[in-house]
Structure 1
Amino acid sequence: MKKSLLIICMMLGMATAFAQNKAVNKAEQLLKQNKLSEAKEQIDAAVNDEKTKDKAKTWYTRGQIYAAIATSEDASVKAISENAIAEAAQSFRKAQELEPNPTSPFNALSDQALNGLWGVYINNGAKAYEAQNYEVAVVEFDKALQVIPTDTTASLYAGVAAQQLGDRDRSAKYFYNLLDAGYADKDIFYTLIAYERDQKQDYAKAREVIKRGKEAFPDEVEFRKQEVALLLKEDKTSEAVNELKQAISAEPKNPDLHFNLGYLNEELGDQAAAIAAYKKALEVDPTHKNSAFNLAVIHYNRAADLVKEANNLGLSKEEAKKGAEMRKRATEYFKEAVPYVENALRLHPDNRTLMEITMVTYDRAGEKAKADALSKQLDSME
């Protein structure tokens, strides 16, 4: 008797489970028959039913149905759901939440389905981009982002495609997605800085992007240069100088801060202060490349500009005399420049511009042998 009761109970349990899964199973069958409207009705009912709403299979099946709607080429099918992509992605993720173990069946299947759906739109976007149909490319890459919102590939390609359209607002949206996802690329930062500064004229936002760029690339001097340039653009010269001086007081052994002060003074036209700051940076760090480079350029330009000025003088006796005096002074400047260009070249041995500057400096300073040696080295590089 007890055995009979046990069998009856087991059968009742199986019947109940079957009844619970009936809508899900029916939705699966309708999906196989490509009857997506009916399948959607069945599965939407199942995810709202107390008996089936917490089943991973229910949500995985819903994801499949909505994915089929989203990827259908039939406009009448697409009209069944305006948000089919988002609904499919949300359903697959819900299935994974209900089966959190990555090796469990519906977690693994949902992961495959998400990547497969993402791949469809990435491929569509790539084909459109290759065909120079950039508007379609943006739309398709955006669909991929609806599947995996943190995907950096889709954000990058969508942003670049939007750039091709000249749509800087849309490209900025996708590039900000990249930053928020932890994607660190200097060009993306530079693009967003220019966007906020030049197009939006939102200098506070531009400084915010610069700050993020400095955090991502602490050794990248260009961000500091852009920060100084932005402050100058806002006519906040004293603020820029004060901020740098305060920072130097707090970190006197930071060569980058001294370099920034030098660069700012250059922008302000105070060459003597710039030279002093660059020299201080090199005192702190003798291998500070950017300070060495700028010092070399300042000293070279001082001499070269004087020669150019002399060459532009007229042919009168008085002007000829003045020109000769200027060239003589320029020669002294070139001699003074020698140790600076040599030091910069030592730190930038493969920099062709520096090699050419150094060669001219040697020649003008009367060190012909060194100039000839550098000339031969440059010829061999060609």
Structure 2
Amino acid sequence: MKKVFLVTGFTLLSGVTVFAQKDELKSLKKIYSRSEVSAKDVTEYKNLVQKLKPIASEEGDKIYAAFYEANTPMVEIIALGQTATPEAMVGLVSPKKISDFALAATAVLDYEKKLGKKVITDEILQRYQFAKPLILSYAVGLGEQKQFAGTSEILYAMYVLDKNDPEKLYFAANYAVNAKDYDTALKYYDELKRINYSGEGTAYFATNVANDREESFNSKADRDRFVALKTHVKPREEKIPSKRGEIYRNIALILVEKGKVEEAKTAIKDARAANPDDTSLIISEANLYLQTKDFATYKALVKESLAKDPNNKDLIFNLGVIAYNNKDLTEAENHYKRVIEIDPTYANAYLNLAILKLDGEKELVEKMNKLGNSDADNKKYEVLRKQREDMFKGAMPYLTKTVELQPDNIDAVSTLYNVYRTLDMETEAKAMKARLKALEGK
């Protein structure tokens, strides 16, 4: 009989614990569901969370306990009411707290989906949609402060909460790169690869009549509605190109950084096989071979890409750089001039043409300095001096254009100053010297 009594006593005790759990959960849900929360409610909520944590034994109770604990900052913010300014919220919110909430909320959503019973699913989703702009604004603020790791963590949390918004994952990966957290970036890029995210689409714009500023819209329907209301004019659309190339390029660059060059090459090849019509991936593969200094393969891939996109000025410019480095000055010049045909404002093409025109100037000067004072040497000197002068005259229009397009390019300004001085163009040299001093003083 004693044994029976002991077992019965344990069962009763266990039952009391279960009922206690249910009471804590009911009370927490009650406070959680309120649109207005008092300071007293916050204190009670925190106490209930602490009571529930050690006694939650069943799977569901543990999941809800973790969620309500992670939701504590939201309850505190609601309690602030009208005083819930960004300054007042600083101590209540952090990237880690947002990340913890996202994981805990997702666990609840998954659990209720598995049960086929919505308890707080709708409330979680509704509240997240309401808080989404605030969370995004917080992330943007951190990004502006160059707190890239925190920005990345928040954006990833937003993706976790809404897998239908993979753009947040894309930006989370980019911010992880900015934070030099390459392992996290690779994890996020791999997820983008797994879901085959491209980011392709159309951006919709219209100009606000009130302030004459162009604004973007989430959809054509939204934009057209405002245009119909006559609050906006000049509707236009802009094609958003595929981001797959950039994603795979970054995966490859991270793998190269880790010394996994062959893995990087395989990743790009697999991407191209899966997306044969995505020309951005050809460019990414080409850039990988450029990174590993395999210039022959790079040139072959660039030519393949140019066959599909003959006006890709960046690729043509890179071909010019490779040709120049290989001392094929004629080919380099042709590439740079082609870039300028496509885009007359491409400043680096003008600058590189100037550098190309000045190629060999150092050797000329060395030859001139070695000559003596004989009549024969003086004649040779004049020939070399004329060659050097012609070099500077050939470079001058390209340098002038570079400075026109990039007034703060100190290298271009300095070189143009030396060109003017060498050609005895005193007025121009004086003006360029003044500009150079102003830039150096910045």
Q: Where on the TM-score scale, by shorter chain, does this alignment land: which range?
A: 0.5 to 0.7
Q: Does the C-alpha gap of structure 1 residues 191 and 314 become closer, same or farther in structure 2, counting only changes over 3 Å?
A: farther
> Does the 8 Å CA contact 2:364/2:388 hold for their aligned counterparts?
yes
Q: Does the C-alpha gap of structure 1 residues 279 and 210 become closer, same or farther in structure 2, counting only changes over 3 Å?
A: farther
Amino acid at match of 2:399: V
In the alignment, the residues of structure 1 paired with residue 65 and residue 412 of structure 2 have an alpha-carbon distance, to the nearest angstrom, of 64
Confirm whether residue 39 of structure 1 aligns to residue 56 of structure 2. yes
In the alignment, the residues of structure 1 paired with residue 119 and residue 409 of structure 2 have an alpha-carbon distance, to the nearest angstrom, of 55
Q: How far did 1:333 drift?
A: 0.9
Count the aligned residue pairs: 305
Equivalent residue runs for 1:1-382 within 5 Å: 25-26=22-23, 28=25, 32=48, 34-41=51-58, 44=60, 63-67=63-67, 86=103, 88-92=105-109, 105=123, 107-108=125-126, 148=161, 163=181, 168-170=182-184, 172-174=186-188, 194-199=253-258, 200-202=260-262, 203-204=264-265, 227=286, 230-231=289-290, 233=292, 235-237=294-296, 239-303=297-361, 305-307=362-364, 309-310=366-367, 314=370, 325-381=383-439, 382=441
SS in 1 for 2:345: coil
SS in 1 for 2:337: helix
The structure in which a higher percent of residues are strand is 2
In the alignment, the residues of structure 1 paired with residue 120 and residue 55 of structure 2 have an alpha-carbon distance, to the nearest angstrom, of 31
Amino acid at match of 1:90: A
SS in 2 for 1:366: coil
Q: How far did 1:176 drift?
A: 5.7
In the alignment, the residues of structure 2 paired with residue 284 and residue 162 of structure 1 have an alpha-carbon distance, to the nearest angstrom, of 35
Q: Does the C-alpha gap of structure 1 residues 317 and 191 become closer, same or farther in structure 2, counting only changes over 3 Å?
A: farther
What is the TM-score normalised by the length of structure 1?
0.56
- Residues 275-323 of structure 1, C-alpha deviations (whole Å, 9 max, x = no match): 12212332344333332221122223443x2355347x55766897666
Q: Does the C-alpha gap of structure 1 residues 208 and 348 become closer, same or farther in structure 2, counting only changes over 3 Å?
A: farther
SS in 2 for 1:34: helix
Amino-acid identity (%): 21
Amino acid at match of 1:306: E
Q: How far did 1:347 drift?
A: 2.7
Q: How far did 1:65 drift?
A: 1.1
In the alignment, the residues of structure 2 paired with residue 69 and residue 90 of structure 1 have an alpha-carbon distance, to the nearest angstrom, of 13
In the alignment, the residues of structure 2 paired with residue 206 and residue 359 of structure 1 have an alpha-carbon distance, to the nearest angstrom, of 48
Amino acid at match of 1:34: K
- Residues 234-280 of structure 1, C-alpha deviations (whole Å, 9 max, x = no match): 5351x433444454455545544432332231232211110122123
- Residues 124-178 of structure 1, C-alpha deviations (whole Å, 9 max, x = no match): xx9xx99xxx9xx99x989958964865587667666674xxxx44554356668
Give ranges in structure 2 of 5+ residues lacking alignment.
Answer: 1-18, 29-47, 73-99, 200-242
What is the TM-score normalised by the length of structure 2?
0.50
Q: Which stretch shows the higher mean deviation, 268-277 or 149-158?
A: 149-158
Give ranges in structure 1 of 5+ residues lacking alignment.
Answer: 1-21, 45-60, 73-82
In the alignment, the residues of structure 2 paired with residue 143 and residue 335 of structure 1 have an alpha-carbon distance, to the nearest angstrom, of 55
In the alignment, the residues of structure 1 paired with residue 266 and residue 111 of structure 2 have an alpha-carbon distance, to the nearest angstrom, of 36
Which residue of 2 is the match for residue 14 of structure 1? none
In the alignment, the residues of structure 2 paired with residue 225 and residue 301 of structure 1 have an alpha-carbon distance, to the nearest angstrom, of 31
In the alignment, the residues of structure 1 paired with residue 288 and residue 327 of structure 2 have an alpha-carbon distance, to the nearest angstrom, of 13
In the alignment, the residues of structure 2 paired with residue 358 and residue 27 of structure 1 have an alpha-carbon distance, to the nearest angstrom, of 77
> Does the 8 Å CA contact 2:371/2:381 hold for their aligned counterparts?
no
In the alignment, the residues of structure 1 paired with residue 119 and residue 365 of structure 2 have an alpha-carbon distance, to the nearest angstrom, of 73
The structure in which a higher percent of residues are helix is 1
Which residue of 2 is the match for residue 78 of structure 1? none
Amino acid at match of 2:187: K
